[in-house]
């Protein structure tokens, strides 16, 4: 019976397969086959033995049921695989399985293969989200909306700018993943404390050849394990991606509030928002992403703790990593797929975008009016104070902001009603928003989306 939600609720089949026991054992067997081939190249085992080990080092011959049965007897999962592989090898080939290697020569090298597979899937899905955000940038490049800082109306911006900020962040995540991929795509074949004593004088060449067969880089130096700073860096990057997803989902939730109601996550005709309030359209998909991001981000603590192993290693990282790697990757993969679905189906209420844009009757354009007054010879501080006090008074007395501004002798003497209307039109105060988004889109498409 499934226990963890990544088994039955928050997963995709693609990522789930990567972290399955079947794939882990398949990678172990792949490494044992490579190890035997290199032994044969160096003449430390017969070539026929290497051929037999390589032939049998697949799940077609080595059954999970048998591995699990042996593990129940010896309480060591890697050694259970070694015995199960040895059993199916004919002749005397079985006695050469895992020769000179320590468990983590196989396990850490397999981890590199598995994490490399998983990173490629995450990269694919990050690019998918980036592609959707670029489309949203282009579609809404001219959609002017009210910007908010501290939850208050600030200055006009555009939805193109909003989507552009998110898109640029996802592009940086692609850079980070691409940069860290070589650092986690490394393996070792150096024995119990990393000295390669069990491999003899050819140890360095031996390790290099094994990694060449596996399309990995050999570590420059290790003790019993590949050092965990590599894995911690990767988990931190995945947490950064989760943080961006959290930020986007949170913004969608804010913009879906009844008082704002500018955009909404997709909502099916038959979907239920609340068990007791039929009218509700809860942004539960976005809320789910915010919640799951907390789990992913919390895993960074575990990854950082795993760096500090004792002496040439202890085993405190092992049990934690059985949860850490699969949980983090499976959840983040699910989150990226869900975010792509939400962004692709966003629903806009353009009337509410316009309504909110004019909610303060131009008060949020006081910065522009102040700058225009300075251009007319008024001191910046004087202009600021006149506008501040006028707008505050209009708000407190529930007067029209525009009428209050037009009643100020200073404003009347410097601007005609038509000029004031032009100044207080939010469409005329978005600066280089359109140009910035156009430049960003060109850059993102040429660097990240042409592959």
So which residues are the catalytic ones?
150, 274
Helix (H) or strand (E) holding 217, with range, is strand 217-218
All residues at 6 or more sequence positions from 311 whose CB lies less than 8 Å from its CB, including other chains: 223
Give the SS3 label for residue 263. strand
For residue 186, list its beta bridge partners. Answer: 217
Q: Are 112 and 216 contacting, i.e. CB atoms less than 8 angstroms apart?
A: yes
- Residue given tokens 């209307």 in the structure block: 421
CA distances from 126 to 158, 162, 176, 303 (A): 23, 18, 11, 22
Between strands 152-158 and 347-348, the pairing is unpaired
Angle at 391 between CA 387 and CA 397, to 5 degrees: 145
Give the SS3 label for residue 356. helix
- What is the torsional sign of CA 69, 74, 78, 81? negative
């Amino acid at each position: 019976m499934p226990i963890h939600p990544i088994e039955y609720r928050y997963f995709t089949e693609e990522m789930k397969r990567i972290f399955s026991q079947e794939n882990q054992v398949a990678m172990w067997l792949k490494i044992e086959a490579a190890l035997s081939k290199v032994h044969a190249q160096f003449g430390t085992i017969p070539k026929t033995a290497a051929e037999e080990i390589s032939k049998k080092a697949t799940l077609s011959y080595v059954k999970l049921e048998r591995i699990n049965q042996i593990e129940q007897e010896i309480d060591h999962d890697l050694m259970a695989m070694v015995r199960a592989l040895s059993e199916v090898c004919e002749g005397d080939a079985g006695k050469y399985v895992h020769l000179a290697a320590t468990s983590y020569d196989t396990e850490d090298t397999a981890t590199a293969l598995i994490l490399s597979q998983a990173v490629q899937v995450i990269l694919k899905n990050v690019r998918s989200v980036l592609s959707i955000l670029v489309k949203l940038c282009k579609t809404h490049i001219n959609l002017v909306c009210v910007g908010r800082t501290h939850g208050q109306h600030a200055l006009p911006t555009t939805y193109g700018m909003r989507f552009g900020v998110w898109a640029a962040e996802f592009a940086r995540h692609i850079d980070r993943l691409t940069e860290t991929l070589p650092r986690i795509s490394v393996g070792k074949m150096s024995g119990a404390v990393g000295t390669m004593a069990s491999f003899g004088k050819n140890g360095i060449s031996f390790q290099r050849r094994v990694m060449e067969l596996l399309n990995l880089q050999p570590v420059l130096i290790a003790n019993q394990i590949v050092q965990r700073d590599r894995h911690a860096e990767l988990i931190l990057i995945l947490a950064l991606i989760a943080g961006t997803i959290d930020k986007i989902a949170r913004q969608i939730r804010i913009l879906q509030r009844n008082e704002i109601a500018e955009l909404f996550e997709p909502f099916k005709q038959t979907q239920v928002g609340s068990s007791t309030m039929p009218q509700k359209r809860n942004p539960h998909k976005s809320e789910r992403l915010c919640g799951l991001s907390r789990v992913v981000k919390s895993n960074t603590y575990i990854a950082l703790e795993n760096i500090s192993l004792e002496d040439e290693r202890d085993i405190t990282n092992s049990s934690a990593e059985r949860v850490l790697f699969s949980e983090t990757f499976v959840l983040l993969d699910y989150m990226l797929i869900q975010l792509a679905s939400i962004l692709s189906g966003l629903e806009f209420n353009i009337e509410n975008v316009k309504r909110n844009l004019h909610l303060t009757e131009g008060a949020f354009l006081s910065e522009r009016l102040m700058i225009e007054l300075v251009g007319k010879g008024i001191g910046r501080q004087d202009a600021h104070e006149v506008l501040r006090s006028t707008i505050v008074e209009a708000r407190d007395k529930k007067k029209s902001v525009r009428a209050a501004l037009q009643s100020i002798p200073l404003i009347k003497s410097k601007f005609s009603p038509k000029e004031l209307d032009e100044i207080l039109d939010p469409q005329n105060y978005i600066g280089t928003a359109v140009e910035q988004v156009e430049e960003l889109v060109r850059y993102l498409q040429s660097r990240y989306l042409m592959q």
